[in-house]
């Protein structure tokens, strides 16, 4: 991509002026309705007796952790984007649509039943209003997996009317929109058996973004819905970024890791991160981090760290600090001004989001100290709970951020990400119906 184009995209990127910009911790994807898509999970968003909390561990795969107690007054995630889950195997489009509507209703009903603590916002303006005028936890809707529920422009507009802010276009399996990333773990290889077969034959999942996948990006954009490129195969992701750059459609990546440290097919390269920001998009890092076959340069840096505990909050800090520094250096390269000297409105362009995926298929940060940590417990020291417990539930996010701040991490990019996300969403809504319709018709 030409350097002049990168500069142009950053300088003229749509940055609206708002009287009350927000700076809040926003979880870009949590799963409060996982039990509705996958009944093996217990029911979410229920209150437990505060005098008898459930036993929980950071190692909580397939365990319900999205108790209402932990979402309420959460200082570590004032805004929560609830990702409704589309079943992809053995389900018809009609049943998939019904399932998503049931999940949206479940969250809407939960907020309505607890109006003093929760509210669902269906537009950026509503988010700003509730953040600035109430103390409520604000919930936004998204959908993970558009394969079964978006077939035309009418479908996309229908979901926009339900308040969907973004959709993860491709989820766990290869389909009519393109290839899905297949991780080395056996479950993902079995679920996406077609992608696994392509990987065996070609060395990687060779399926890219299909013409219908390109149509879907246009349909979603014209409805005011952002496309999340998470979960795409490397070829599909490259195709999507090229297509979205060509058509000036800002992408977001809600929960991919950083390839030089987490070296797998789901991870973003430094060049892809740069491109996402150049197109006016946003990258979000998952809270659950682990090193995986890092590049030699980064492995050497890891080896040189004192008191580093793999899989703990140390892993998140290591990756986040590097990505933050990388993005800030890009800001200087592209704008010719030190990041520190940029006005706040430009700094917002280089925000970094976070995503927890609570009540998904993954565990979270292990403790740093104690029997499940890397170091023995010292009774003479005072520990942040994140060091002794890890992250067993969403209520631990406040301790996660506090520990990072105490250890020199700049959290401003994370708090700016809520404003940047709203700006991107507002940009889509302002351009509804105006995204290259000619391309859409040319494919038909």
To 10 degrees, the CA torsion angle through 264, 266, 267, 273?
150
- Burial class of 344 by CB neighbour count within 10 A (0 to 12, 13 to 18, 19+): exposed
Only one residue has tokens 């308040």, namely: 163
374-405 residues labelled b (16+ CB within 10 A) or e (exposed): beeeeeeeeebbbbebbbbbbbbbbbbbbbbe
Nearest to 35 by CA among 103, 114, 137, 113: 103
Q: Are 236 and 207 in contact (CB under 8 A)?
A: yes
- The CA-CA-CA angle for residues 186, 187, 189, to 5°, reads 65
Question: Right CATH number for 23-443 from 3.30.1330.60, 3.90.1070.10, 1.20.1050.10, 3.20.20.140?
Answer: 3.20.20.140
pLDDT of residue 196: 56
Question: How do the domains of the chain map onto residue ranges?
Answer: 23-443
pLDDT of residue 7: 41
pLDDT of residue 361: 83
pTM over 0.85: yes
Report the sign of the C-alpha dihedral through residues 134, 135, 136, 140, in that order. positive
Q: What is the pLDDT of residues 168-196, one digit of tens each?
A: 999 988 899 999 987 656 566 556 656 55
Nearest to 118 by CA among 104, 129, 134: 134
* Other Cβ atoms within 10 Å of 160 Cβ, number: 20
pLDDT of residue 295: 97
* DSSP symbols for 16-85: ---TT-----EEEEE-TTHHHH-TTSPPPS----TTSPPP--S--TT-----HHHHTT-TT-SEEEEEEE
pLDDT of residue 221: 98
CA 110 to CA 106: how far, in whole Å? 6
pLDDT of residue 185: 60
- Identify the segments of the chain with pLDDT beneath 70: 1-19, 183-206, 437-444
Please report, for residues 180, 188, 230, 398, the alpha-carbon distance to residue 206 in angstroms, rounded to integers and kept in the order given: 10, 16, 17, 41
pLDDT of residue 436: 73
Question: What are the φ and ψ backbone dihedral angles of 159, each rounded to 5 degrees?
Answer: -70, -35
Q: How far separated are the first and last CA of the chain, in Å rounded? A: 29
* Other Cβ atoms within 10 Å of 133 Cβ, number: 9
CA 298 to CA 368: how far, in whole Å? 21
pLDDT of residue 113: 98
CA 289 to CA 153: how far, in whole Å? 37
Q: What is the pLDDT of residues 34-45, one digit of tens each?
A: 999 988 899 999
* Other Cβ atoms within 10 Å of 202 Cβ, number: 11
Query: Could you tell me which residues are beta bridge partners of residue 355?
Result: 286
pLDDT of residue 426: 98
Nearest to 142 by CA among 47, 284, 237: 284
């Amino acid at each position: 991509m030409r350097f002049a184009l990168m500069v142009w995209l950053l300088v003229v990127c749509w940055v609206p002026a708002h009287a009350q910009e927000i700076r809040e911790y926003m979880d870009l994807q949590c799963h409060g309705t996982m039990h509705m898509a996958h009944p093996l999970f217990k029911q979410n968003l229920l209150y437990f007796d505060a005098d008898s909390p459930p036993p929980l561990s950071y190692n909580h795969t397939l365990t319900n952790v999205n108790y209402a107690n932990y979402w309420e007054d959460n200082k570590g995630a004032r805004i929560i984007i609830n990702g409704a889950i589309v079943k992809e195997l053995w389900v018809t489009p009609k049943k998939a649509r019904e399932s998503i509507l049931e999940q949206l209703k479940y969250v809407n009903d939960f907020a309505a039943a607890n109006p003093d603590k929760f509210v669902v916002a269906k537009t950026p303006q509503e988010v700003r209003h509730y953040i600035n005028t109430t103390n409520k936890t604000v919930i936004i809707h998204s959908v993970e997996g558009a394969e079964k529920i978006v077939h035309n422009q009418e479908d996309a507009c229908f979901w926009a009317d339900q308040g969907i802010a973004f959709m993860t276009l491709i989820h766990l399996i290869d389909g009519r929109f393109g290839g899905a990333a297949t991780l080395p773990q056996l479950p993902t290889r079995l679920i996406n058996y077609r992608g696994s077969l392509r990987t065996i034959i070609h060395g990687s999942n060779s399926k890219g973004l299909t013409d219908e996948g390109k149509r879907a990006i246009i349909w979603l954009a014209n409805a005011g819905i952002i496309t999340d490129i998470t979960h795409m195969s490397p070829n599909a992701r490259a195709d999507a970024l090229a297509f979205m750059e060509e058509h000036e459609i800002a992408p977001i990546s809600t929960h991919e890791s950083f390839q030089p440290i987490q070296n797998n097919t789901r991870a973003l390269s430094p060049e892809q991160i740069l491109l996402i920001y150049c197109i006016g998009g946003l990258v979000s890092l998952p809270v659950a981090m682990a090193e995986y076959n890092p590049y030699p340069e980064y492995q050497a840096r890891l080896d040189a760290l004192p008191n580093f505990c793999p899989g703990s909050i140390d892993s998140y800090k290591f990756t986040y600090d590097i990505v933050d520094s990388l993005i800030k250096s890009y800001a200087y390269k592209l704008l010719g001004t030190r990041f520190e000297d940029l006005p706040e409105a430009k700094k917002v362009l280089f925000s970094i989001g976070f995503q927890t995926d609570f009540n998904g298929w993954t565990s979270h940060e292990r403790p740093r100290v104690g029997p499940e940590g890397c170091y023995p417990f010292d009774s003479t020291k005072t520990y942040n709970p994140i060091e002794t417990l890890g992250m067993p539930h969403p209520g631990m996010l406040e301790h996660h951020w506090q520990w990072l701040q105490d250890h020199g991490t700049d959290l401003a990019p994370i708090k700016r990400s809520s404003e940047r996300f709203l700006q991107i969403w507002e940009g889509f809504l302002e351009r509804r119906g105006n995204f290259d319709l000619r391309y859409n018709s040319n494919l038909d």
